[in-house]
């Protein structure tokens, strides 16, 4: 079943005389195998009773709360996506069904970890489903862009690739910083899922951005509207705290730069400014400094998780 490649031939605004260059050396994503293997993250071997025996900093708990909230928000982000062309693309729709399932279980797993560590989650002040007006306007704007632009999925896939890569990099950084053996075990399982998500989005983006006219529009939208996952879902100070905790210092900066460099290999994105530039504009590294600087980008019609960013 040929479900691993989008059909470029069905794109309405294709320039008839423009040959489609071959995609890069990135291997094909085997969607059929992914769907067959998709399941909830396996928690059966996690030694939950051992969690309180290891130190867990307040900063790690705060970061985990943020990440848990973003994972659980995935289904709300999916609600916005279902109002776009994503639902009309069989490969994308199939992927999204498994993706939201896996992301939801990431949220459940992180909630269970926090509870076992003695930090059960409080009920959310605003339920996820009751989004603020700004988020609903962003969802409507996304649907409008999708309606107006036949190649909307190219930017959706690029967006997803950025956010999945940021998410899995964030989890890797948390493993390195927290040094909690049970958390490491749990996050390494989640990271395997996030790596598969990233691969799907990245490969799709790479194929869909082959045509310069599509890449130019996608690049414009990312330049104008991209902000890290969690923007608009969690308070800004929480996003800035987490960004500083995970991506400050030499190792954090190097991790952020690696995300950016990977996305820069996509067609048309060679000079894109993403995580590191956002850090430079929005996050000061000195303790206690959280202020956003003038000129910081705000808002996006593509909002949330990987959307789920740090998903
Ligand atoms: Fe996730
Ligand atoms: Fe993911």
Q: Which pLDDT score is estimated for 286?
A: 61
Question: The whole model's pTM is what?
Answer: 0.83
**The pLDDT value given to residue 293:** 39
Alpha helix locations (H) across the chain?
Answer: 31-37, 58-81, 90-116, 133-148, 152-178, 181-208, 212-225, 236-247, 249-263, 275-282
Joined together, the tokens standing for residue 142 give: 């996304």
Question: How far, in Å, from the CA of 12 to the mean position of ligand 1?
Answer: 33
Mean pLDDT of 216-233: 89
Helices 133-148 & 152-178 angle (0-180, nearest 10): 140
What is the per-residue pLDDT across 175-191, written as a single tens digit (0 to 9) for each?
A: 999 999 999 999 999 99
Determine whether 101 is exposed, middle or buried from the number of CB atoms within 10 Å of its CB (0-12, 13-18, 19+).
middle
pLDDT score recorded for residue 22: 54
Identify the bridge partners of residue 234 per DSSP, sorted by sequence position: 231
Q: Extract the tokens encoding 256.
A: 């952020």
Which percentage of the chain shows pLDDT scores above 90? 62
Distance 41 CA to ligand 2 centre (A): 12
User: For residues 170 and 172, what is the distance between their CA atoms, to the nearest angstrom?
Assistant: 5
Closest ligand (CA of 195) = 2
Q: Which ligand is nearest to the CA of 72?
A: 1
Query: Nearest ligand, CA of residue 189?
Result: 1
Which residues, in sequence order, are bridge partners of residue 231?
234
| Spacing, Cα 74 to ligand 2 middle (Å) | 9
Considering 17-26, 82-91, 284-293, the range whose residues carry the highest mean pLDDT is 82-91
Whether the CB-CB separation of 209 and 160 falls below 8 Å is answered with no
Helices (H), ranges, 82-180: 90-116, 133-148, 152-178
Q: What separation in Å is there between the alpha carbon of 110 and the centre of ligand 1? A: 10
Q: Name the average pLDDT for the chain.
A: 84
Alpha carbon of residue 122 to chain centroid: 24
The ligand with the least distance to the CA atom of 198 is 2
Checking if the pLDDT of 304 tops 50, the result is no
Which whole number is the average pLDDT over 258-278?
Answer: 96
Separation of 297 CA from ligand 1 center, angstroms?
A: 25
Cα-to-centroid distance, 284 and ligand 2 (Å):
27
Q: Are 229 and 180 in contact (CB under 8 A)?
A: no
Between the ranges 84-88, 104-108, 304-308, where is the mean pLDDT highest?
Answer: 104-108
Strand, coil or helix: 234: strand
| Number of neighbouring beta carbons within 10 Å of residue 303 | 26
**Would you call 231 helix, strand, or coil by DSSP?**
strand
For ligand 2, the distance from its centroid to the CA atom of residue 22, given in whole angstroms, is 27
């Amino acid at each position: 079943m040929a479900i691993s490649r989008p059909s470029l031939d069905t794109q309405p605004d294709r320039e008839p005389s423009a040959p489609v260059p071959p995609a890069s050396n990135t291997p094909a994503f085997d969607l059929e195998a992914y769907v067959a293997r998709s399941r909830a993250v396996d928690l059966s071997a996690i030694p939950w009773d051992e969690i309180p025996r290891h130190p867990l900093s307040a900063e790690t708990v705060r970061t985990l709360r943020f990440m848990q909230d973003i994972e659980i928000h995935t289904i709300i982000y999916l609600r916005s996506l279902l109002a776009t062309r994503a639902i009309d693309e069989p490969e994308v729709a199939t992927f999204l069904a498994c993706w939201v399932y896996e992301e939801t279980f990431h949220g459940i797993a992180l909630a269970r970890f926090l509870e076992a560590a003695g930090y059960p989650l409080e009920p959310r002040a605003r339920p996820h489903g009751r989004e603020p007006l700004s988020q609903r306007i962003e969802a409507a704007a996304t649907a409008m862009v999708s309606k107006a632009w036949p190649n909307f999925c190219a930017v959706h896939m690029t967006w997803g690739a950025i956010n999945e890569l940021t998410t899995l990099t964030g989890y890797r950084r948390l493993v390195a910083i927290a040094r909690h053996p049970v958390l490491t075990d749990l996050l390494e399982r989640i990271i395997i899922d996030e790596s598969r998500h990233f691969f799907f989005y990245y490969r799709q983006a790479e194929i869909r951005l082959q045509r310069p006219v599509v890449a130019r529009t996608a690049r414009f939208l990312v330049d104008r509207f991209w902000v890290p996952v969690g923007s608009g879902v969690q308070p800004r100070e929480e996003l800035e705290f987490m960004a500083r905790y995970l991506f400050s210092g030499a190792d954090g900066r190097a991790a952020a730069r690696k995300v950016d460099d990977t996305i820069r290999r996509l067609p048309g994105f060679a000079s894109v400014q993403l995580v590191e530039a956002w850090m430079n504009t929005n996050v000061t590294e000195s303790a206690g400094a959280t202020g956003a600087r003038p000129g910081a980008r705000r808002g996006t019609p593509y909002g949330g998780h990987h959307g789920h960013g740090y998903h």
